């Protein structure tokens, strides 16, 4: 095998980095003001309550301080972020109607092909608006709603109004307030009682414009006894200016329902990824998070599960890969708020070439959550000593009838393991790559096949040139 | 004073500091060259020499309060290759006449020396107050054992900041027993400065009544092949609150270092609050760091077995609690001290 010693900056991120020419139908001014928000709301023809909600969120945003912990956000200049860009197309239901440049972007990302082969429905967002949304007819017949959230706001206003930003209120933190003020695009999914969606739905978010922000809102309601797998993909090409992603995901898992939410996030290295994800799980319901964080300059992402009903369950499987210039502060929060709830957290992180991976987690067991069980396991792998890796899990227990276990390990690839593989005729780099792949295998096996392949490719891209 | 950490100590004011006049120091044979002095405002050369080493400990307000107001403590200088066989013992027994102990202790252990120092804090009357700083300088190859027992009255406040600067191949063993006071904050920091520096911390805590504790143990690995171990066993009951913070911090250059931390807590009542924050910070790839924490109830099978042998439920629980503390207590080499602690634990369990 040829040795590749390029720096990570020079690595071809291939398909992810191909930029389209920046054209648009409408874009808001830089920065944030009452006028910008009124314009966005007007562009979208929104009901008055939503306009009011946006303005109220703006007030909250202005009144809240930037979080003092975690990532350094002082390079993030909100005055230079374009909050709203309408691409040069309307929403389409067939790929043939989507303009060629946008369609080609998604073709390169493999979305239409995946739709044909393995997905039940696809939404594609380009900058601030959803450009494509389609769902198989049999799912529509079963009563499943899968559409962009703007359309949902028109067609299912009562449902959206009932759930929208109820789980993540704008008061939650500064960037939730920002999201409430300028949100645009995203998907709405409603799975009626007892319906089992056995092939996944996917939304793909692509941010093409430089110096812009993407603020999509994903709202998923899985009714009693229903079952859904939802996949979220994100990417953007590399620019010299900072981009911002402050999306919001709200998941409502009702009694006996199951939702699996998978994310492969591959933002470019100029992105601030300050996303908020939260799930509310009713009696005997299950939320399963599968989360891969590879890209972005700064990430602060802690998907949260609130186990509200007795016997609710959450499972978090996450992997974070931090390289040069990246600070990825990720983890998960679990609140056991009802008896006999269980949670499992399995997190892995890899840091290399000066990257900084930070696991930050919270486990909270409230007074009423007797009989609850939780296991948390965090493992960190460091590939060199320029990098950093930190683990900070907070455990808060307010109840004695529980069973909690936590473990964390930090370290590097053992020389013995490499020596063994090399004695079997595998060269050093391949041996390291094999060990890293083995390390993340518990995560890859949770993903649908084509995403597992994508993840492995990403690891190959990331590992090339890292050793030697 | 603002809210103090997770305990949220509201409207706390430092009490008026009065002199501590009781005898507190006892020791056996001191080898030649050992300098052991009680600290007072006129005899504090070692303190002045080490004043620059400002430490944060449980919080800047508390350590600077000690610097400004200390009324007792010791300075101890142990020359090279000297072994102090009999432990040096400091017993602070606060009462109405001597309600505050603000102790400042400096221990300088020269190369190849060995020593054991015991601190025992008790209080007779309500509203006693302890705030202290202990600094240990362990030079090359030295061994310093520090045993700190805090069994103050349930209405007292306790704050204690400890730091050790550990040179190459030196070992500092901390043993901390936290079973008293109403509010207690303690911090033990070990800086493993050089090749094969070693810091060990073993602690037990008992939270009963409405006690609130914030216990922080920090190991900073700077030297190559440095070793650290944090081992904590605790029991919480009634309305007790505990915050455990264990920090393993591997600095760049601490190659081949190893750090382990463990906390096991047994929860006996549904009204307890238990917070655990085990942090692993790492700037060096060639290290091994591990932490584990677990929390749960007493195993029903164990209880059932003991009760089938004729123990009542209280006795059975008591035995299981003692057993969970045992691995830590067994590290204390003095039988009498160990028995004293076990008696104190029993007394507190029975009252509770």
Q: Looking at this predicted complex, what is its ipTM?
A: 0.87
CB contacts of A384 in chain B (<8 Å) are: 285
- Provide the Cα torsion A52, A54, A60, A65; round to 10°: -170
B263-277 in b/e burial notation, b at 16+ Cβ within 10 A?
A: bbbbbbbebbbbbbb
| Other CB atoms within 10 Å distance of the CB of residue A270 | 20
Instruction: Specify if B341 maps to a domain.
Output: no
CB contacts of A370 in chain B (<8 Å) are: 270
Crossing angle (nearest 10°) for helices A34-43 and A174-182: 50
Q: What percent of chain A has pLDDT over 70?
A: 93
Instruction: Specify if B199 maps to a domain.
Output: yes
Residues in chain A: 468
- Distance separating alpha carbons of residues B272 and A51, to the nearest angstrom: 46
- For chains A and B, what is the number of CB pairs under 8 angstroms? 115
The predicted-structure confidence for A412-466, as pLDDT tens digits, reads as follows 887 888 889 999 999 888 888 888 888 888 777 776 666 677 667 766 666 654 4
- Distance separating alpha carbons of residues A275 and A215, to the nearest angstrom: 9
Whether the CB of A364 is below 8 Å from some CB of chain B: the reply is no
pLDDT of residue A47 exceeding 70, the answer is yes
Please report which helix (H) or strand (E) contains residue A162, including its range. helix A157-163
Residues A450 and A400 in one domain: no
Nearest-CA distance from B75 to chain A in Å? 37
Give the pLDDT of residue A219: 96
Residues A431 and A449 in one domain: yes
Instruction: Specify if A9 maps to a domain.
Output: no
- Distance separating alpha carbons of residues B69 and B124, to the nearest angstrom: 22
Which residues are within 8 A (CB) of A291 and not within 5 positions of it... i.e. 6 or more apart? A262, A263, A265, A301, A303, A316, A317, A318, A319, A330, A332
Domain boundary among A369, A399, A414: A414
- In this complex, do B278 and A370 lie within 8 Å of one another by their Cβ atoms? no
Nearest-CA distance from B131 to chain A in Å? 27
Instruction: Specify if B327 maps to a domain.
Output: no
**Domain tally, chain B:** 1
Q: Are B309 and B40 in contact (CB under 8 A)?
A: no
Residue with tokens 């904050």: B185
Which residues are within 8 A (CB) of A155 and not within 5 positions of it... i.e. 6 or more apart? A147
Instruction: Specify if A129 maps to a domain.
Output: yes
Q: Vertex A65, ends A63 and A66: CA angle to 5°?
A: 135
Instruction: Specify if B61 maps to a domain.
Output: yes
Residue with tokens 């002082």: A74
pLDDT, averaged across chain A: 87
Closest residue in B to A402 (Cα–Cα): B296
Instruction: Specify if B318 maps to a domain.
Output: no
Give the pLDDT of residue B5: 74
Closest residue in B to A396 (Cα–Cα): B275
Least CB–CB distance from B289: residue in A385, A395, A411? A411
Q: Phi and psi (nearest 5°) for B211?
A: -60, 140
Residues A445 and A311 in one domain: no
Residues A68 and A211 in one domain: yes
Q: Please report which residue ranges of B26-59 form alpha helices under DSSP H.
A: 45-49
The predicted-structure confidence for A194-205, as pLDDT tens digits, reads as follows 999 988 898 988
Q: Vertex B200, ends B285 and B182: CA angle to 5°?
A: 115
pLDDT of residue A353 exceeding 60, the answer is yes
Q: Which two tokens stand for residue A250?
A: 């709200």
Please tell me whether residue A304 adopts helix, strand or coil conformation: strand
Instruction: Specify if B109 maps to a domain.
Output: yes
pLDDT of residue A20 exceeding 80, the answer is no
Mean pLDDT score, B259-265: 94
Nearest-CA distance from A332 to chain B in Å? 15
B237-251 in b/e burial notation, b at 16+ Cβ within 10 A?
A: beebbbbbbbbbbbb
- In this complex, do A412 and B269 lie within 8 Å of one another by their Cβ atoms? no
Residue with tokens 């094999």: A434
Residues A468 and A348 in one domain: no
Residue-range definition of the domain harbouring residue A185: 18-414
Residues A146 and A270 in one domain: yes
Q: Are A292 and A263 in contact (CB under 8 A)?
A: yes
Nearest to A202 by CA among A121, A294, A309: A121
Instruction: Specify if A7 maps to a domain.
Output: no
Residues A151 and A238 in one domain: yes
- In this complex, do A406 and B290 lie within 8 Å of one another by their Cβ atoms? no
Whether the CB of A401 is below 8 Å from some CB of chain B: the reply is yes
Instruction: Specify if B194 maps to a domain.
Output: yes
The predicted-structure confidence for A233-253, as pLDDT tens digits, reads as follows 888 887 778 889 999 999 999
Residue-range definition of the domain harbouring residue B123: 5-299
- Distance separating alpha carbons of residues B121 and B93, to the nearest angstrom: 6
Residues A374 and A427 in one domain: no
CB contacts of A399 in chain B (<8 Å) are: 267, 270
Preferred mutation among B280, B292, B297 to probe A, highest tally of A CBs within 10 A: B280
Residues A338 and A430 in one domain: no
**Domain tally, chain A:** 2
Instruction: Specify if A23 maps to a domain.
Output: yes
Instruction: For CA atoms B331, B337, B340, B344, give the dihedral sign.
Output: negative
Nearest to B250 by CA among A388, A1, A19, A25: A388
Residues A211 and A323 in one domain: yes
Q: List residues bridging with B36 in a β-sheet.
A: B76
Q: Are A81 and A244 in contact (CB under 8 A)?
A: yes
Q: Are B146 and B120 in contact (CB under 8 A)?
A: no
Instruction: Specify if A4 maps to a domain.
Output: no
Instruction: Specify if A454 maps to a domain.
Output: yes
Instruction: Specify if B266 maps to a domain.
Output: yes
CB contacts of A403 in chain B (<8 Å) are: 295-297
């Amino acid at each position: 095998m040829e040795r590749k010693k390029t720096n990570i900056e020079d690595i071809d991120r291939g398909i992810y980095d191909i930029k389209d020419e920046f054209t648009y139908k409408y874009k808001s001014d830089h920065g944030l003001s009452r006028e910008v928000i009124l314009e966005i709301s007007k562009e979208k023809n929104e009901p008055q309550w939503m306009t009011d909600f946006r303005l109220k969120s703006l007030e909250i945003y202005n009144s809240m301080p930037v979080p003092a912990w975690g990532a350094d956000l002082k390079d993030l200049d909100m005055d230079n972020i374009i909050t709203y860009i309408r691409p040069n197309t309307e929403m389409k239901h067939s790929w043939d109607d989507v303009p060629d440049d946008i369609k080609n972007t998604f073709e390169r990302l493999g979305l239409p092909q995946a739709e044909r082969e393995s997905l039940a429905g696809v939404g594609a967002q380009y900058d601030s608006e959803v450009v494509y949304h389609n769902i198989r007819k049999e799912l529509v017949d079963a009563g499943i709603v899968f559409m962009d959230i703007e359309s949902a706001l028109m067609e299912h206003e009562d449902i959206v109004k009932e759930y929208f930003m109820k789980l993540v209120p704008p008061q939650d933190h500064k960037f939730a307030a920002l999201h409430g003020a300028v949100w645009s695009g995203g998907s709405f999914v409603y799975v009626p009682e007892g319906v089992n969606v056995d092939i996944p739905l996917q939304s793909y978010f692509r941010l093409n414009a430089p110096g812009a922000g993407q603020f999509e809102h994903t709202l998923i309601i899985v009714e009693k006894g229903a079952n859904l797998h939802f996949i979220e993909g994100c990417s953007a090409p590399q620019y010299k200016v900072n981009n911002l992603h402050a999306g919001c995901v709200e998941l409502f898992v009702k009694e006996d329902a199951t939702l699996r939410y998978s994310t492969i996030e591959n933002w470019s290295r100029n992105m601030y990824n300050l996303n908020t994800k939260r799930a509310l799980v009713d009696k005997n319901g299950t939320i399963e998070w599968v989360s891969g964080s590879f890209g972005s300059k700064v990430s602060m992402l802690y998907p949260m599960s609130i186990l509200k009903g007795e016997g609710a369950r959450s499972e978090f499987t996450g992997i974070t890969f931090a390289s040069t210039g990246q600070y990825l502060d990720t983890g998960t929060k679990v609140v056991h708020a009802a008896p006999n709830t269980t949670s499992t957290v399995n997190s892995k992180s890899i840091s290399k070439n000066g990257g900084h991976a930070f696991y930050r987690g919270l486990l909270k067991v409230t007074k009423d959550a007797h009989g609850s069980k939780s296991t948390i396991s965090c493992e960190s792998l460091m590939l060199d000593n320029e990098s950093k890796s930190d683990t900070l899990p907070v455990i808060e227990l307010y109840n004695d009838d529980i069973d909690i276990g936590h473990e964390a390990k930090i370290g590097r690839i053992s020389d013995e393991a490499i020596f063994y593989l090399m004695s079997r005729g595998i060269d050093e780099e391949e041996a390291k790559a094999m060990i890293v792949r083995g390390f993340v295998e518990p995560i890859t096996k949770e993903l649908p096949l084509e995403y597992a392949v994508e993840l492995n490719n990403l690891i190959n891209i990331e590992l090339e040139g890292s050793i030697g | 004073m603002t809210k103090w950490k997770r305990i949220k100590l509201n409207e706390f004011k430092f009490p008026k500091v009065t002199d501590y006049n009781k005898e507190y120091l006892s020791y056996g044979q001191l080898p030649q060259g050992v300098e052991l002095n009680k600290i007072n405002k006129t005899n504090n050369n070692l303190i002045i020499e080490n004043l620059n080493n400002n430490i944060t400990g449980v919080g800047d307000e508390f350590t600077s309060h000690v610097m400004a107001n200390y009324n007792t403590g010791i300075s101890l200088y142990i020359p090279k290759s000297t072994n102090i066989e009999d432990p040096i013992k400091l017993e602070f027994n606060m009462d109405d006449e001597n309600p505050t102990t603000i102790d400042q202790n400096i221990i300088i252990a020269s190369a190849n020396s060995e020593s054991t120092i015991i601190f025992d804090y008790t209080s007779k009357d309500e509203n006693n107050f302890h705030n202290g700083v202990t600094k240990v300088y362990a030079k090359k190859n030295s061994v310093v054992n520090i045993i700190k027992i805090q069994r103050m009255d349930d209405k007292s406040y306790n704050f204690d900041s400890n730091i050790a600067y550990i040179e190459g191949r030196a070992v500092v063993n901390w043993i901390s027993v936290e079973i008293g006071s109403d509010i207690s904050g303690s911090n033990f920091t070990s800086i493993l400065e050089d090749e094969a520096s070693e810091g060990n911390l073993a602690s037990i805590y008992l939270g009963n009544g409405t006690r609130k504790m914030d216990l922080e143990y920090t190991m900073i690995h700077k030297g190559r092949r440095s070793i650290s171990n944090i081992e904590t066993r605790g029991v919480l009951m009634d309305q007790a609150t505990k915050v455990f913070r264990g920090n393993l911090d591997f600095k760049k250059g601490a190659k081949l270092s190893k750090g382990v931390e463990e906390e096991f807590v047994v929860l006996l009542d549904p009204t307890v609050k238990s917070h655990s924050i085990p942090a692993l910070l790492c700037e060096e790839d060639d290290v091994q760091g591990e932490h584990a924490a677990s929390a749960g109830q007493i195993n029903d099978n164990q209880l059932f077995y003991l009760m089938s042998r004729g123990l009542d439920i209280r006795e059975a629980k008591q035995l299981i609690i003692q057993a969970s503390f045992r691995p830590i207590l067994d590290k204390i080499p003095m039988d009498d001290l160990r028995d004293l602690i076990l008696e104190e634990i029993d007394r507190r369990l029975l009252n509770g």
